[in-house]
């Protein structure tokens, strides 16, 4: 007979095993699904997970997708650690892309050395602005952060659509809703010739390391952790909830804004309506899968980037809709939440017939 | 008081035979047997953690026992849920009330009744009024529970049992939330009920109450029955010894001190509550002197939480000169600054406020004690760890080590740790709420010693507690709060339990002043 | 701008507000029991796609609605098991439900994008629909809108006048106390969650069977989220939910109103309006912390585990 028993201490081991278990279960779910669709499950999983890492070019493309996921997820990890339910990475990313593009386009063909730094700065500033408003509304008016950040995602999207149809539309673009291509001066430098591996990828890895350092080594990071884990204790200790909320929210906004501007000045090279295939939402899963640990987010971001790549390949090679990626992400998060149950509980086997 | 001698031939109302219940890491009930006659008032005595609550929850069907039998009116039964218990005629008044504040009295009672019961009663509100008169409970069925005082809420709980014609009434620490005067009112209700043949199981750890009302007592310790006795034939001392083992030598009383200069002052502080069910503070004045312990008595929910919050700065509304420390206004300063000026604070909630449950003791040390452990914004974890180790050994905190999570400690050990952490900052003013609530006798003794030692070193200590006995033991001067008002402050030697009890019930409040305040509050 | 035009606008506001009304009615029951389900957007999309598929393949509209309800129930059941039995965080699980539903609906519906069906026809109610103006606004709708009227009244009655409503309120305020007096807390919460799922399923079906009527990826465009805001806006009161739903409906069709005034503004900017309005409302309504504490179900979002009641 099996019985569930609460653990006296949460299991450290299970905290790390749980994401792996969740991934394994998601893959099993995938096999069943593909079989049901008359696709060879082994082949499908190969295309989804192995093919994206099969050669140097593909790895480069995978890293390109990892960059925005990681930047957003690092910020979200900090927010969630502080119990700030910021769901607005998507909007902050779009705002960053929009703000950065406006500056990049204003530079036109100028060869100024300031073009790229100012473009990036504009992206970061826009991301910050986009997270600052919901944060202010929460702290000043007590409005629900989850809902306001989500509303700001939609607002950012329509603003961006409006911009590419209006002020930022390429005058020579035959009316397509796209901006002109950016000049080379405003594009991120490529780090490995022959790939699209750009500077932003390095910045994203750096941001994860810095965030880890802040959380584990500084008094500020300690305060963030206390605030998220036990708000009454933080108030009792005299930590300023306002200061900490601003800190994590603005940092998350800055990183998401950076992600956005890196997309338009990196792999895309212009402003288009579909800058992001939902990176800001997927970053929520990355943050969770990485256990809200900035370094864990690196591994999780790579996994999700592989999945994104695989989704594209699966559509081309096996005619499987790319939407399968979104579904897998949701299933993964479900399994993760379910597996986390065993951090706090365990199965015990008993031989007693009755209790 | 033994006016209802139970005849020999009557069989017990309830018999428990060898009840055991194991929780992860603790054997809460270990082969407990007990029997209760109709009309008997039976005390269940024991320290916190002795297994009293688990046992009564077993009887009420909230907890399922691992082994053992329950015999009700001569028949073996299994009580699967509280509704089964209620159908049998078992009623329970919980320590932390199980009332719903956003519902009315009559709605609260309705929820406990089955459809047939409800149908047989007919007009519930009328029935409540009638019973209310019969037993002198004084309850209005249409009032919302959140507008009731603690004492009134307890009477609603009792009413909830009466409506179902109860045969066994269980009360879990019913007097801990009442003023002494309310306690005697409760006792007269209980005596009436017992005279009608209702059995009463009365949980307490206050000996004088048990000797006053109970005919029999069962004493638990560590989950086992230690003895069953007639309180009338025992002395308080002998019962205490049974409850705690060998440690009951503490009642000697401590020396009282007179404070020196004024360290901390509250001047005419009035503050409306920020919580819908909270209490507003009204015209609070107090002076706290160096080298004294000032005790504040009061029933929970009379403004203690609000007072603590504004003193510590957790309630961040600026009150400027209404608060002064060492003659300096501190009412506009943030909590952290107040700490730097020499204030330390031991909150009522240990786990979840005084300490972060999921963090290690090292990290919990840093929670309030950061001075000297931060360099350039970086935490000096190594030094901090050594200091945490030191605290653990100085205050004999039982735990695996400085890496243990706060939630893995027992209440008493965590309290010793928090006390040590706050005292370790050498505070000039220590604010301390309910320091020994739910703590075993050994730890309570250690905490008392630590407080007295700090006082003798010249610190000013404000002690807020619901335990009058503890206040008389420790405090040099005393006052009481009621409905957000603070009573006059008197020297402990010059007062007695009766006077403080009356103050807890609000007799000191000037009626005209009260009306004026009410008017102000409603127009604000 | 004449009275006919206003009647037309109000008629459209009701039509547009109806899916919000369905979701918010379901969610308010769920929240009253103390559970916050943020998965509305995902459940709604699943309801929309499954409802469309069922109706498209059988040609039976009612069957489509029932299938969408069933889908909503199944989705909410996944949520229920995770938060009630496995103790998962309600916010995270709700988000997972939305991400899952968004992905799965796009996946399931990928072959049906662009196909159309003959949706529900309006059924004018005899006599009532001939009341001047009012008849046009209220009584020339389709069956689902009438169903939403009925559900509003029914839920108002159950929540405020019955023992069931009392039980729901008790569980939402203090699950431990409810458990202590013998109410089956988890059972009440499961039922509330599933009721919420079924209502959201209907809302989804309304989108794909009545409002458009067709299936498109992400066609709900944040309505699930707006409905969540609506519940807060209405302070958990059923009557105000109905009013709020129609106000939001009005905000969504503002471009029609402005055209009536002869103004032209970029449709992309106007598309922001419901979201901006939501933010605005969240600010106004939540500014009074005191009031929100008083009105919100007290155990909202907090887990309850009967095994931990030592």
Chain A residues in contact with B356 (beta carbon < 8 A)? 226, 229-230, 233
Count of alpha carbons within 13 angstroms of residue C182, beta-carbon side:
21
Structure confidence at residue B5 (pLDDT): 44
Structure confidence at residue B2 (pLDDT): 44
- Establish if C309 belongs to a structural domain: no
Both ends of chain A: CA-CA distance in Å? 11
Kindly give the residue spans of alpha helices, DSSP state H, lying in A230-351.
231-237, 241-263, 279-289, 294-318, 323-339, 341-344
Structure confidence at residue C307 (pLDDT): 54
- For the range A174-179, what are the long-range contacts, defined as Cβ-Cβ under 8 Å and sequence gap of 24 or more? A177/A272, A177/A273, A178/A270, A178/A271, A178/A272, A178/A273, A179/A101, A179/A105, A179/A270, A179/A271, A179/A272
For residue A56, the distance in angstroms to the closest alpha carbon of chain C comes to 29
- Paired strand residues for B45: B204, B219
Q: pLDDT per residue over C249-304, tens digit each?
A: 998 888 777 777 777 777 788 888 889 988 988 888 776 666 666 678 888 877 77
Q: Are B504 and B322 in contact (CB under 8 A)?
A: no
Chain A neighbours (≥3 Cβ pairs under 8 A) are B, C
CB contact under 8 A, C182 and B54: no
B1 against C199, higher pLDDT: C199
Give yes or no for A65 touching B (CB within 8 A).
Answer: no
User: What CA–CA distance (Å, rounded) separates A265 from B263?
Assistant: 63
A175 against A245, higher pLDDT: A245
Strand segments, DSSP code E, in chain A are 2-6, 345-349
Q: pLDDT per residue over B19-66, tens digit each?
A: 998 876 667 888 999 999 999 999 988 876 678 888 998 998 888 899
Structure tokens at A329: 């992400």
- Where residue A354 falls among pLDDT bands split at 50, 70, 90? very low
Lowest mean pLDDT among A331-335, B250-254, B296-300: B250-254
For residue A204, the distance in angstroms to the closest alpha carbon of chain C comes to 24
For residue C78, the distance in angstroms to the closest alpha carbon of chain B comes to 28
Among the partner residues A154, A284, A326, nearest to C95 by beta-carbon distance: A284
Of chain B, the percentage scoring pLDDT greater than 90 comes to 36
Kindly give the interhelix angle for B411-423 and B381-394, rounded to the nearest 10 degrees.
120
CB contact under 8 A, C221 and A288: no
Domain membership of residue C280 as a residue range:
3-304
The phi, psi pair for A290, rounded to 5°, reads: -85, 10
- Establish if C265 belongs to a structural domain: yes
Among the partner residues A219, A235, A240, nearest to B370 by beta-carbon distance: A219
Could you give the number of structural domains in chain A? 1
CATH number of B262-350+427-523: 3.40.50.300
Q: Are C113 and C217 in contact (CB under 8 A)?
A: yes
pLDDT at B300 over 60: yes
Q: Are C231 and C245 in contact (CB under 8 A)?
A: no
CB contact under 8 A, B367 and A233: yes
The 3-state secondary structure of B285-341, one letter per residue:
EEEEECCCEEEEECCCCCCHHHHHHHHHCCCCCCCHHHEEECCEECCCCCHHHHHHC
User: What CA–CA distance (Å, rounded) separates A116 from C12?
Assistant: 48
Chain C residues in contact with B316 (beta carbon < 8 A)? none
Interval B329-357 mean pLDDT: 91
CB contact under 8 A, C287 and A141: yes
- Establish if A283 belongs to a structural domain: yes
SS3 B209: helix
pLDDT at B385 over 90: yes
Among the partner residues B24, B339, B356, nearest to A233 by beta-carbon distance: B356
Q: pLDDT per residue over A228-277, tens digit each?
A: 999 999 999 999 999 999 999 999 999 999 999 999 999 999 999 999 98
Interval A187-211 mean pLDDT: 93
Among the partner residues A85, A142, A162, nearest to C268 by beta-carbon distance: A162
Among the partner residues B81, B99, B274, nearest to C177 by beta-carbon distance: B99
Lowest mean pLDDT among B196-205, C43-52, C113-122, C199-208: C113-122
Chain B residues in contact with A214 (beta carbon < 8 A)? none
Q: pLDDT per residue over A13-70, tens digit each?
A: 888 888 999 999 999 998 898 888 888 888 888 888 888 888 888 899 999 999 999 9
CA distances to B390, B480, C15, C120 from C210, in Å: 71, 67, 9, 6
Mean pLDDT of chain B: 85
Mean pLDDT of chain C: 88
CB contact under 8 A, A220 and B377: yes
Give the angle subtended at the CA of A78 by the CAs of A75 and A81, to the nearest 5°: 150
Chain C neighbours (≥3 Cβ pairs under 8 A) are A, B
Chain B residues in contact with A217 (beta carbon < 8 A)? 378-379
Structure confidence at residue B81 (pLDDT): 84
Chain C, residues 126-165, CB within 8 A of chain B, namely 163
Q: Are B28 and B223 in contact (CB under 8 A)?
A: yes
pLDDT at B1 over 50: no
User: What CA–CA distance (Å, rounded) separates B88 from C174?
Assistant: 25
CA distances to B48, B282, C57, C115, C205 from C54, in Å: 61, 66, 5, 13, 10
SS3 B104: strand
Pick from B30, B15, B11: nearest CA to B69: B15
Give yes or no for A238 touching B (CB within 8 A).
Answer: yes
Instruction: Annotate C16-66 with DSSP letters as a single string.
Output: HHHHHHHHHHHHHHHHHTT---TTHHHHHHHHHHHHHHHHHHH--HHHHHH
Yes or no: is domain B14-243 CATH 3.40.50.300? yes
Among the partner residues C95, C103, C308, nearest to A87 by beta-carbon distance: C95
Pick from A337, A349, A342, A253: nearest CA to A289: A337
Structure confidence at residue C133 (pLDDT): 81
Buried b (16+ CB within 10 A) or exposed e, A132-159: bbbbbbbeebbbbbbbbbbbbbbbbbbb
- Establish if C163 belongs to a structural domain: yes
pLDDT at A177 over 50: yes
Instruction: Please count the residue pairs, one from chain A and one from chain B, whose beta carbons lie less than 8 angstroms apart.
Output: 74
Give yes or no for C295 touching B (CB within 8 A).
Answer: no
CB contact under 8 A, B112 and C173: no
- Establish if C137 belongs to a structural domain: yes
Instruction: Please count the residue pairs, one from chain B and one from chain C, whose beta carbons lie less than 8 angstroms apart.
Output: 60
CB atoms within 10 A of CB B45: 27
- Residue listed under structure tokens 């096999």: A31
Query: Rounded to 10 degrees, what is the CA torsion of C205, C208, C210, C212?
Result: 160
- Establish if C214 belongs to a structural domain: yes
Among the partner residues B102, B111, B274, nearest to C167 by beta-carbon distance: B111
Structure tokens at A15: 């905290």
CB contact under 8 A, B103 and C163: no
- Establish if C310 belongs to a structural domain: no
pLDDT at B325 over 60: yes
Pick from A17, A127, A43, A120: nearest CA to A310: A43
Query: Maximum distance among all alpha carbons in chain B?
Result: 81
Give yes or no for C180 touching B (CB within 8 A).
Answer: yes
Among the partner residues C92, C269, C287, nearest to A162 by beta-carbon distance: C269
CB contact under 8 A, B82 and C181: yes
- Establish if A36 belongs to a structural domain: no
Chain B neighbours (≥3 Cβ pairs under 8 A) are A, C
Structure confidence at residue B518 (pLDDT): 60
Structure confidence at residue A259 (pLDDT): 97
Pick from A204, A179, A199: nearest CA to A101: A179
Kindly give the residue spans of alpha helices, DSSP state H, lying in B98-254.
105-111, 115-121, 124-135, 150-163, 180-195, 207-213, 236-244
Any idea what the CATH number is for the domain that residue C130 is in?
1.10.3470
Give yes or no for C176 touching B (CB within 8 A).
Answer: yes
Pick from C208, C220, C196, C170: nearest CA to C78: C196
- Establish if C236 belongs to a structural domain: yes
Structure confidence at residue A157 (pLDDT): 95
- Establish if A314 belongs to a structural domain: no
Structure confidence at residue B200 (pLDDT): 94
B411 against B268, higher pLDDT: B268
C187 burial via Cβ count (<10 Å: 0-12, 13-18, 19+): exposed
Q: pLDDT per residue over C10-58, tens digit each?
A: 999 999 999 999 999 999 999 999 999 999 999 999 999 999 999 999 9
Interval C186-199 mean pLDDT: 96
Could you give the number of structural domains in chain C? 1
Structure tokens at B48: 């916190």
- Establish if C272 belongs to a structural domain: yes
- Where residue B249 falls among pLDDT bands split at 50, 70, 90? very low
Among the partner residues C78, C104, C268, nearest to A158 by beta-carbon distance: C268
Highest mean pLDDT among A174-178, B83-87, B107-111, B404-408: B107-111
B277 against C301, higher pLDDT: C301
Structure confidence at residue B4 (pLDDT): 44
For residue A67, the distance in angstroms to the closest alpha carbon of chain C comes to 21
Instruction: Tell me the pTM.
Output: 0.86
pLDDT at B245 over 80: no
- Where residue B401 falls among pLDDT bands split at 50, 70, 90? confident
Chain B residues in contact with A230 (beta carbon < 8 A)? 352-353, 356-358
Pick from A4, B199, B286: nearest CA to C86: A4
CB contact under 8 A, C170 and B111: yes
Domain membership of residue A270 as a residue range:
68-297
- Establish if A91 belongs to a structural domain: yes
- Where residue A208 falls among pLDDT bands split at 50, 70, 90? very high
Chain B residues in contact with A238 (beta carbon < 8 A)? 313, 334-339, 368
Lowest mean pLDDT among A124-133, A222-231, B183-192, B358-367: B183-192
CB atoms within 10 A of CB C147: 16
Q: Which residues of B touch A (CB under 8 A)?
A: 24-25, 64, 66, 312-314, 334-339, 345, 347, 349, 352-359, 363, 366-368, 370, 374, 377-379, 405, 408
For residue C247, the distance in angstroms to the closest alpha carbon of chain B comes to 29
Among the partner residues A6, A222, A238, nearest to B336 by beta-carbon distance: A238
Q: Are B163 and B18 in contact (CB under 8 A)?
A: no
A312: CB partners within 8 A, 6+ apart: A322
Q: Are B406 and B386 in contact (CB under 8 A)?
A: no
User: What CA–CA distance (Å, rounded) separates B337 from B323?
Assistant: 14
- Where residue B209 falls among pLDDT bands split at 50, 70, 90? confident
CA distances to A120, B152, C310 from B169, in Å: 72, 18, 21
For residue A301, the distance in angstroms to the closest alpha carbon of chain B comes to 27
Chain C residues in contact with B54 (beta carbon < 8 A)? 310
Helix (H) or strand (E) holding B445: helix B441-456
Chain C, residues 77-106, CB within 8 A of chain B, namely none
CB contact under 8 A, B276 and C182: no
pLDDT at C109 over 60: yes
- Residue listed under structure tokens 């991120």: A188
- Where residue B7 falls among pLDDT bands split at 50, 70, 90? very low
């Amino acid at each position: 007979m099996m019985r569930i028993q609460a653990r006296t201490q949460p299991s450290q081991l299970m905290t790390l095993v749980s994401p792996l278990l969740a991934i394994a279960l998601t893959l099993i779910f995938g096999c069943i699904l593909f079989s049901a669709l008359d696709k060879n499950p082994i082949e499908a999983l190969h295309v989804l997970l192995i093919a994206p890492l099969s050669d140097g070019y593909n790895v480069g493309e995978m890293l390109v997708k990892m960059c925005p996921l990681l930047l957003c997820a690092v910020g979200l990890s900090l927010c969630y650690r502080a119990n700030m339910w910021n769901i607005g990475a998507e909007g902050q990313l779009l705002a960053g892309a929009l703000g950065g593009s406006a500056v990049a386009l204003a530079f036109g063909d100028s060869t100024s050395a300031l073009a790229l730094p100012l473009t990036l700065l504009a992206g970061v500033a826009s991301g910050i602005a986009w997270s600052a408003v919901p944060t202010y509304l929460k702290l000043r008016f007590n409005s629900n952060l989850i809902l306001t950040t989500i509303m700001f995602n939609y607002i950012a999207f329509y603003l961006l659509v409006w911009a590419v149809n209006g002020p930022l539309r390429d005058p020579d673009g035959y009316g397509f809703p796209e901006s002109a291509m950016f000049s080379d001066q405003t594009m991120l430098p490529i780090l490995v010739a022959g790939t699209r591996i750009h500077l932003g990828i390095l910045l994203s890895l750096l941001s994860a390391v810095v965030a880890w350092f802040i959380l584990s080594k500084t008094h500020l990071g300690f305060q963030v952790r206390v605030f998220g884990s036990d708000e009454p204790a933080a108030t009792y200790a005299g930590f300023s909830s306002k200061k900490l909320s601003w800190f994590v929210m603005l940092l998350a906004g800055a990183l998401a804004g950076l992600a956005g501007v890196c997309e338009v000045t990196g792999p895309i090279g212009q402003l288009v309506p579909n800058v992001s295939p939902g990176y800001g939402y997927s970053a929520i899963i990355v943050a969770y899968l990485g256990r809200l640990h900035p370094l864990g987010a690196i591994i999780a971001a790579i996994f999700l980037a592989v999945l994104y790549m695989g989704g594209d390949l699966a559509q081309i090679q096996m005619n499987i809709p790319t939407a399968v990626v979104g579904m897998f992400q949701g299933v993964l998060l479900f399994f993760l939440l379910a597996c986390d149950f065993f951090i706090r509980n365990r199965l015990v086997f008993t031989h007693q017939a009755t209790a | 008081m033994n006016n209802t001698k139970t005849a020999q031939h009557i069989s017990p109302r309830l018999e428990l035979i060898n009840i055991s219940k194991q929780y992860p890491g603790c054997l809460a009930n270990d082969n407990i047997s007990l029997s209760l006659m109709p009309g008997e008032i039976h005390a269940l005595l024991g320290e916190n953690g002795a297994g009293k609550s688990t046992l009564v929850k077993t009887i009420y069907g909230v907890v399922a026992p691992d082994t053992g039998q329950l015999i009700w009116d001569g028949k073996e039964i299994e009580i699967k849920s509280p509704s089964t218990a209620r159908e049998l005629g078992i009623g329970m008044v919980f320590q932390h009330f199980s009332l719903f504040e956003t519902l009315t009295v009559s709605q609260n009672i309705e929820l406990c009744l089955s459809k047939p019961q409800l149908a047989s009663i007919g007009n519930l509100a009328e029935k409540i009024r009638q019973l209310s008169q019969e037993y002198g409970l004084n309850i209005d069925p249409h009032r919302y529970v959140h507008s009731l005082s603690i004492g009134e809420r307890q009477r609603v709980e009792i009413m909830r049992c009466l409506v179902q014609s109860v045969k066994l009434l269980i009360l879990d620490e019913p007097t801990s939330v009442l003023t002494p005067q309310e306690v005697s009112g409760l006792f007269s209700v209980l005596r009436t009920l017992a005279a009608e043949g209702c059995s009463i199981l009365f949980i307490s750890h206050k000996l004088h109450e048990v000797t006053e009302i109970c005919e029999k007592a069962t004493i638990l310790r560590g989950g086992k029955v230690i003895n069953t006795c007639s309180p009338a034939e025992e002395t308080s001392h002998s019962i205490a010894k049974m409850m705690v083992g060998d440690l009951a030598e503490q009642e000697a009383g401590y020396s009282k001190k007179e404070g020196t200069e004024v360290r901390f002052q509250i001047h005419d502080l009035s503050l409306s509550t920020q919580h819908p069910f909270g209490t507003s503070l009204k015209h609070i004045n107090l002076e706290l002197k160096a080298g004294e312990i000032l005790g504040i008595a009061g029933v929970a929910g009379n403004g203690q939480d609000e007072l603590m919050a504004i003193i510590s700065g957790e309630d961040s509304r600026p009150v400027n000169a209404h608060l002064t420390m060492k003659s300096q206004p501190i009412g506009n300063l943030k909590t952290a600054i107040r700490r730097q000026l020499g204030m330390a604070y031991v909150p009522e909630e240990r786990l979840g406020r005084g300490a972060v449950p999921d963090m290690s003791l090292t990290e919990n040390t840093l929670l309030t004690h950061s001075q000297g452990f931060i360099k350039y914004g970086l935490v000096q974890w190594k030094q901090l760890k050594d200091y945490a180790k030191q605290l653990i050994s100085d205050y004999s905190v039982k735990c695996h080590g400085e890496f243990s999570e706060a939630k893995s400690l027992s209440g008493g050990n965590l309290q010793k740790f928090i006390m040590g952490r706050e005292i370790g900052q050498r505070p000039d003013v220590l604010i301390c709420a309910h320091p020994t609530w739910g703590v075993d006798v050994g730890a309570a003794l250690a905490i008392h010693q630590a407080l007295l030692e700090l006082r003798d070193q010249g610190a000013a200590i404000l002690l807020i507690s619901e335990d009058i006995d503890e206040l008389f033991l420790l405090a040099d001067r005393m006052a009481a709060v009621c409905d957000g008002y603070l009573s006059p402050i008197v020297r402990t030697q010059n007062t007695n339990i009766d006077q403080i009890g009356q103050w807890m019930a609000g007799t000191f409040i000037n009626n005209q002043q009260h009306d004026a305040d009410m008017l102000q509050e409603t127009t604000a | 701008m004449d009275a006919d035009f206003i009647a037309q606008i109000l008629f459209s506001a009701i039509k547009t507000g109806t899916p919000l009304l369905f979701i918010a009615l379901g969610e308010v029951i769920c929240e009253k029991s103390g559970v916050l389900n943020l998965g509305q957007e995902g459940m709604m999309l699943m309801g929309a796609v499954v409802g469309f598929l069922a109706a498209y393949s059988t040609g039976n509209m009612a069957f489509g609605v029932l299938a969408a309800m069933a889908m909503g129930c199944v989705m909410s059941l996944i949520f229920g098991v995770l938060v009630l039995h496995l103790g998962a965080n309600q916010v995270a699980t709700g988000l997972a439900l939305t991400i899952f539903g968004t992905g799965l609906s796009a996946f399931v519906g990928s072959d049906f994008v662009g196909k159309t069906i003959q949706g529900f026809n309006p059924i004018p109610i005899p006599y009532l629909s001939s009341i001047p103006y009012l008849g046009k606004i209220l009584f020339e709708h389709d069956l689902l809108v009438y169903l939403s009227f009925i559900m509003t009244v029914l839920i108002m009655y159950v929540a405020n006048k019955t023992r069931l409503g009392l039980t729901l309120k008790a569980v939402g305020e203090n699950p431990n106390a409810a458990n202590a007096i013998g109410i089956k807390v988890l059972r009440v919460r499961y039922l509330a969650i599933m009721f919420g799922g079924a209502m959201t399923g209907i809302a989804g079906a309304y989108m794909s069977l009545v409002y458009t009527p067709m299936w498109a990826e992400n066609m709900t465009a944040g309505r699930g989220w707006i409905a969540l805001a609506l519940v807060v806006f209405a302070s958990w009161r059923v009557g105000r939910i109905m009013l709020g739903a129609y106000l939001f409906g009005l905000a969504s069709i503002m471009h029609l109103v402005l055209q009536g005034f002869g103004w032209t503004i970029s449709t992309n900017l106007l598309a922001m309006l419901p979201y901006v309005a939501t933010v605005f409302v969240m600010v106004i309504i939540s500014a009074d912390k005191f009031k929100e504490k008083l009105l919100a179900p007290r155990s909202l979002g907090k887990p309850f585990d009967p095994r931990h009641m030592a």
